[in-house]
Structure 1
Amino acid sequence: MTQDAEVIVVGAGPAGSTAATHLARAGVDVLLLEKSAFPRDKVCGDGLTPRGVKQLIDLGIDTSPDAGWVHNRGLRIRTAELTLELDWPELTDFPPYGVARTRHDFDDVLASTAVKAGARLTERTTVTGAITDERTGRVVGVRAKQGPDKEPVSYRAPLVLACDGVSARLALSVGIEKDDRRPMGVAVRRYYRSPRHDDPYIEGHLELWDRRDPAEPKLLPGYGWAFPLGDGTVNVGLGMLSTSAAFRNTNYRELLRSWLDSTPEEWGYREENAVGRIGGAGLPMGFNRTPHYRDGLLLVGDAGGMVSPFNGEGIAAAMESASLAAEHVVQALARPEGPSRERALRGYPRAVADLMGGYYQLGNQFARAIGKPRIMRLATKYGLRIRPLIPLVFKGMSGCYDARGGDAVDRLVTALSKAAPTPR
C-alpha cells in the first residue's frame, strides 16, 4: 500500500493542531487535513480556563497579553439574587489565569504552530469517510472532497486521528454511533460592542431572566456567559443541555434576544451594538461517542464527545486528549505492526478514561440534575449561599483542581472522580 503519511489528522481545530504539533515534533510524518482555510471562524465562547491555558503553554505558545491573549483573573457567577467573584485558584498543575481570544485567531495560531513543527497542512479538504481494509476492517486512510470543485481525493496512512468535531463523520463512517443516554448541549453566541470588553472576569449566568414585562418576569431555560475580548467587544451566549425538557422545542436565537434585552442597558447587549450574526453549535458531552480507539482510528476531542458536562468547555479536553493520542501513537509507531503496536494504541482510551472519565461521569449526573428547573433554582438560590461549598463548586465545575495532592477541596474532587464509574 502506498502511504501518503505515517499519520493522518482530520480537522485542524484545537484537537487536530495540538496532536499534529506533538507528532511532528516527535519526528512523525503528519498530514493535517482541514475543510476550511485559515483564518476561519468557529462558534465558541472564545475563552479558556487555566486548564486550557496549560495546554497552550505545553505547546510553547506565548500566552502573554503582548502576544494577543486577553487575560482574566476569574469567574463572576450571577443569579437573580447573588453575584460572586471568584479568582482562579493558585494550583500546581495550572496557571492562575484564563485567557480569551476569538477562534478566528486562536485556531490560526494553533495551526501555524503545527506547520512550524513540520506537519503538512492541506486546507479546503472535506473528509467524508474512512477507507478500510477489505480483509481486516482496519482504517487505512480517508476519502475527501478537495478544493472549490469538490474533487474526490483519497489519502492513506496506517493510523488516522479523527479530530473532526461534533460532526464525527469519520466515526460514523465506521459505525461508531453516539450514545443518546449521555448529555448533549447546544450553544448560541454573538459579539456585542460593550464597555465591559475589558472586564477582568468572565461571567457565568446560572439564571436567565426575561424581564421585558417587569410585572411578570420569566425564568428562561439554560445558562449564559460573557467573555470580554479586550477589543471593544464581548462574546455573549447561552447554552442548554439535552436533559432540559425545553431542549428540542426552543428557538435559541429568540431565547438569546429575550435574555439580553432584559440585561442592563449600559452593558450594551442590544441589537444596535451587535457585531455579526448569531451562531450556533452542538456540544457533545460526557464521552457520548466511544470507543475512542478502534482498528487504526483514534477519536479525539469533540469527535469523542469530550466536552465537559459541568461547564460546556471543550477546548481544554480536546487539547488534553490530543496530547495523549500523540503520545500513544508515537509509542505505537516505534513498534512493529501487529499485537505489540495494538497494545500501545489501546492504551489511549484507557489514558483518556483515567484523566477525565470519572470526572465526566460526575458531570453526566450533574447535567441530569440541573436539567430539572426546580433543582437548578434551589441550587442557585440556596446552595451558593453556603460559603464552605463555594470552593468545591468552583473547582469541581471548572475542572481547575490539582489531581495530585493540593488542598482538601482538590483531594475531595479527585476522590469523587476516582470513585465514579468511568463511562464506556
Structure 2
Amino acid sequence: MSASISRRKAGEDAEVIVVGAGPAGATAATYLARAGLDVLLLEKSTFPREKVCGDGLTPRGVKQLIDLGIDTREEAGWLHNRGLRVVGGGVTLELDWPDLATFPPYGVVRPRQDFDELLARTAQRTGARLLEQTTVTGAITDERTGRIVGVSARAGAEKAPVSYRAPIVLACDGVSARLALSMGIDKNDTRPMGVAVRRYYTSPRSKDDYLESHLELWDRSDPAEPKLLPGYGWIFGMGDGTVNVGLGILSTSKAYGSTDYRALLRSWLDGTPEEWGLREANAAGKIGGAALPMGFNRTPHYSSGLLLVGDAGGMVNPFNGEGIGYAMESARLAAECVIQALARPEGPARERALAGYPLALRQSLGSYYRLGNIFSRLIGNPAVMRVATKYGLPRTTLMKLVLKLLAGLYDPRDGDAFDRVITAATRLTPSA
C-alpha cells in the first residue's frame, strides 16, 4: 500500500487546523487523522489540565466515546452508573437509564483532568500533531475573499508570536469562541446561557450507582424570603473518596447574573445532611465556575472555511446542561464533512461538502435543541418550576418520559411509546 500524498500546498502547515484540544477538538482531530489527513491540533494549556465540569456523562456521551474507540469498561478506569437519582419536592426518585438500541445502558464518571488528556493522547496516537502552550489569538484571512487561511497564536512560556496556515480550520476553543469572534461571528442573545460552579469534597458518598440531580435550588440569602431558582444541583460520586458537587443556573431566570453562585453553592450544601461531609472542612480544592453556551447560541456553524464545534458553537444541551457528549457528537459530524470536502477539488464542490456540516447539525440536534430552548424559558419562571416539581416528580411513569427527553435518550426508530412521543415532538418543532 503506498503512503498517502499530502494535499498541503506550499506555505501551508497542515491540511486542517483544529483549535482547542478539549473533547470537541480531540475528537475531531482523531477522526480526521484516522482518515489520513494532516492535522495540527493547537492547545493553549498543557496536559494534564483541570476543567470546570460535573465529570459525568450520560449514555449519550458514552456512545461517543465508544464510537471513538475508547475502552469505557470499569477495568479501564471509568466509574459506571446505572441512572439518575432525582431529588425535589420532598420526593427522591431513582430512574435507570433506558434500555435502547441506540445508546448503552450506563453512564460514566471520570475527572476532566484525566479525561481530556486521554482524548488528546488518542488524537496524537492516530497521527494528529498536538502543540501545547499555543494560544490562538485570531484568524488569518485572505484579504480578497475574507476566507480563513490560518491562525495567529502565541506559543510557549515566552508567548512568542507564531502563525499556522491551512485551508480549513475547526474552532473548538470553547465558550470564549475567540476564533469565531475574530471572524465576526457573534452569539445569539435570544438563546439560553447557563453558568455552573463546582467543587470537590471528601465524602462517604463517593461510590454511588446513580448520578444525583437536585431540582430545587433555594437561595436563602434572605431567610425571610427564600427564592426557588431555575437550575439544578448535582452530586456525582467520583469513586476515589471524593464527590463532584455543583449547581447550574439558566439565563432565563431573573436571578441570572445577579446571584453570588459560590455563596449559593455553600448555602445549598449547608442544608445537606452533615454526614455527607459537604462542608468547608472537607473541601478538596476551590470552587470553579464556567459558562454553558446552549442551544446553538452561535451561528453560522460553517462560514468561509471555519467550522464551529462544541461549546464554540453553543452545543450544550439546554435541557440538562450536558456538554461533553454533544461536543464530541458535533466534532464527529464536522470531521465527516471535512473528510468529504478535502476529497474534492477546491471550489464549489468542496464548499458544498463543508456546507453539509450545519445541515447535519440541524438534522441531528436542531429540533431537539429548539424544544430545549422553549423548555429553558418555561422553567425560568419560578412558578412553573414549583408546579412541575410538586406535581411531576411523584409520577414515576411521567418522570421516565422526562428523563428520556432531558437526556436525549430515545430511539428515533423502533422505540417504545415514549420514544415515539419525543420523536413526534421533535419532528413538529422547526430545526432552525
CA displacement 1:282-318 (0-9 Å, x = unmatched): 0000000000000100000100001000000001110
Partner of 2:48: 39
Partner of 2:4: none
Partner of 2:131: 122
1:180 has 2:186 as partner = no
Q: SS where residue 181 of structure 2 aligns?
A: helix
What letter matches 2:290 in structure 1? Answer: A
Q: Which shifted more, 72-81 or 413-422?
A: 413-422
- Identify the match of residue 23 of structure 1 among 24, 32, 39: 32
How far the C-alpha of 1:401 sits from its partner, in A, is: 1.0
CA distance in 2, matches of 1:397, 1:86: 13
CA distance in 1, matches of 2:338, 2:69: 21
On the 8 A contact 2:28/2:334 being kept in 1, the answer is yes
> Unaligned stretches of 5+ in structure 1?
none
- Identify the match of residue 53 of structure 1 among 47, 52, 62: 62
Q: SS where residue 203 of structure 1 aligns?
A: strand
How far the C-alpha of 1:220 sits from its partner, in A, is: 4.2
Partner of 1:140: 149
CA distance in 2, matches of 1:176, 1:403: 32
On the 8 A contact 1:77/1:205 being kept in 2, the answer is yes
Partner of 1:297: 306
Partner of 2:362: 353
- Identify the match of residue 286 of structure 2 among 259, 277, 283: 277
Partner of 2:351: 342
Question: Which runs of 4 or more aligned residues in structure 1 lie more than 4 Å from their structure 2 counterparts after TM superposition?
Answer: 210-213
CA distance in 2, matches of 1:388, 1:76: 14
On the 8 A contact 2:228/2:382 being kept in 1, the answer is no
Q: Percent identity, please.
A: 71
CA displacement 1:165-201 (0-9 Å, x = unmatched): 0000010001000000000000000000110100111
Q: Which shifted more, 228-237 or 397-406?
A: 397-406
How far the C-alpha of 1:217 sits from its partner, in A, is: 8.2
How far the C-alpha of 1:212 sits from its partner, in A, is: 9.8
On the 8 A contact 2:191/2:296 being kept in 1, the answer is yes
Q: Equivalent residues in 2 for 1:113-262 (5 A)? A: 113-209=122-218, 218-221=226-229, 222-262=231-271
On the 8 A contact 1:180/1:288 being kept in 2, the answer is yes
What letter matches 1:37 in structure 2? Answer: T
Partner of 2:295: 286
What letter matches 2:49 in structure 1? Answer: R
> Unaligned stretches of 5+ in structure 2?
1-9
How far the C-alpha of 1:388 sits from its partner, in A, is: 3.2
What letter matches 1:288 in structure 2? Answer: N
What letter matches 1:414 in structure 2? Answer: T
CA displacement 1:103-125 (0-9 Å, x = unmatched): 00000000010000000000000
1:389 has 2:398 as partner = yes
CA displacement 1:298-350 (0-9 Å, x = unmatched): 00010000100000000111000000000000000000000000000000100
What letter matches 2:19 in structure 1? Answer: V
1:88 has 2:101 as partner = no
What letter matches 1:28 in structure 2? Answer: L
How many residues of Structure 1 are paired with residues of Structure 2 in the alignment?
422
1:330 has 2:318 as partner = no
On the 8 A contact 1:212/1:262 being kept in 2, the answer is no
Q: Which shifted more, 383-392 or 253-262?
A: 383-392
TM-score (norm 1): 0.98
On the 8 A contact 2:88/2:393 being kept in 1, the answer is no
How far the C-alpha of 1:210 sits from its partner, in A, is: 6.0
TM-score (norm 2): 0.96
What letter matches 2:226 in structure 1? Answer: K
Q: SS where residue 275 of structure 1 aligns?
A: coil
- Identify the match of residue 372 of structure 1 among 381, 387, 408: 381
CA distance in 1, matches of 2:274, 2:226: 18
Partner of 2:6: none
How far the C-alpha of 1:81 sits from its partner, in A, is: 1.2
What letter matches 1:248 in structure 2? Answer: G
CA distance in 1, matches of 2:396, 2:279: 35
Partner of 2:414: 405
1:98 has 2:107 as partner = yes
1:109 has 2:126 as partner = no
Q: SS where residue 382 of structure 1 aligns?
A: helix
CA distance in 1, matches of 2:50, 2:424: 39
On the 8 A contact 2:150/2:167 being kept in 1, the answer is yes
On the 8 A contact 1:209/1:262 being kept in 2, the answer is no
Q: Which shifted more, 383-392 or 114-123?
A: 383-392
Q: SS where residue 130 of structure 2 aligns?
A: strand
- Identify the match of residue 313 of structure 1 among 322, 329, 345: 322
What letter matches 2:154 in structure 1? Answer: K
CA distance in 2, matches of 1:372, 1:211: 18
CA distance in 1, matches of 2:103, 2:395: 26
CA distance in 1, matches of 2:176, 2:24: 14
Q: SS where residue 284 of structure 2 aligns?
A: strand
What letter matches 2:131 in structure 1? Answer: T
What letter matches 1:295 in structure 2? Answer: S
On the 8 A contact 1:361/1:421 being kept in 2, the answer is yes
What letter matches 2:337 in structure 1? Answer: H
Q: SS where residue 145 of structure 1 aligns?
A: strand
What letter matches 2:306 in structure 1? Answer: L
CA distance in 2, matches of 1:330, 1:18: 14
